[in-house]
Amino acid sequence: MTGGDEVRILRAGDRAAVAWKNGGGVTREIAAWPEGTGMAGFGWRASLAEVDADGPFSAFPGVDRTLTLAEGAGMDLSVSGARRLVDERYAPQDFPGDAPTDCRLLDGPVVNFNVMYRRDLVRAHTAVVRGALALTAGPGETLLVVALQGPAEVEAAAAGEPVALGPYDAVRIGGPGACALRTRGHAAVVRLAARPGR
């Protein structure tokens, strides 16, 4: 998915806001693979969504989602008719992106960290960590580290100097490679890999 031991710094201030078709919020893309394929052709995509109003989520056939509440009181979701309360920050929640999903805001706007991936092409796992953590990306894997709350620092040999991350800054690391993450707040770590044979 990326070249071996590749490190890219993705600053929050460089992202463009794209309005939703239904007017309920905006999305800022952090990273995607393949790059430049847009919403129709991605294998995986990570973004921040600012949800300002109640309404349905867009449907993505063949796509699974991991949603992490980063700001706000949360949402009351209906996923294929089943209630899913999302009111705990920094707790990743998995659900199918092609399931009919409606959202009701609990108490005003929210910001969600979203990872979407095509289930037949990509394996993805999202965790939110605090403190210090050693990470290793295997051959063909990609690690995406996103500072969700508070500062974070990532050390990777390919980056040279340690990389300081402010709110919603990210680092994308292509394996094989290792790095060390330190944060006094919360940081999301997403591990992504193509499914065998893909």
Question: How confident is the model over 64-77, as pLDDT tens digits?
Answer: 999 999 999 999 99
The CATH number covering residue 133 comes to 2.60.120.10
Binning pLDDT at 50, 70 and 90, where does residue 117 land? very high
Average pLDDT over every residue of 115-127: 97
Q: Is residue 41 in a domain? A: yes
Q: Higher pLDDT residue, 156 or 60?
A: 60
**Same domain, yes or no, for 23 and 108?**
yes
**Same domain, yes or no, for 37 and 107?**
yes
**Same domain, yes or no, for 89 and 150?**
no
Q: Is residue 171 in a domain? A: yes
Boundary of a domain, candidates 118, 143, 164: 118
Binning pLDDT at 50, 70 and 90, where does residue 198 land? low
The predicted model scores a pTM of 0.93
**Same domain, yes or no, for 103 and 140?**
no
Q: Calculate the average pLDDT of the chain.
A: 92
Q: Is residue 2 in a domain? A: no
Q: Is residue 4 in a domain? A: no
DSSP code of residue 57: P
- The pLDDT of residue 103: 95
pLDDT-above-70 percentage for the chain: 94
How many structural domains comprise the chain?
2
Q: Is residue 144 in a domain? A: yes
Residues recorded for the chain: 198
**Same domain, yes or no, for 170 and 91?**
no
- The pLDDT of residue 2: 46
Boundary of a domain, candidates 118, 149, 174: 118
Please check the confidence at residue 136 and state whether its pLDDT lies above 50: yes
Please check the confidence at residue 173 and state whether its pLDDT lies above 70: yes
**Same domain, yes or no, for 112 and 125?**
no
Helix (H, G, I), strand (E, B) or coil at 88: coil
How far is CA 48 from its chain centroid?
A: 7
Boundary of a domain, candidates 85, 118, 151: 118
Average pLDDT over every residue of 100-118: 97
Q: Which residues pair with 76 in a beta bridge?
A: 85, 104
**Same domain, yes or no, for 41 and 107?**
yes
Please check the confidence at residue 35 and state whether its pLDDT lies above 50: yes
**Same domain, yes or no, for 55 and 126?**
no
**Same domain, yes or no, for 73 and 157?**
no
- Other Cβ atoms less than 10 A from the Cβ of 170: the count is 26
Decide: residue 171, CB within 10 A, 0-12 exposed, 13-18 middle, 19+ buried. Answer: buried
From 160, 158, 67, select the one nearest 117 (Cα to Cα): 67
- The pLDDT of residue 29: 95
**Same domain, yes or no, for 105 and 37?**
yes
Domain span at 31: 13-118
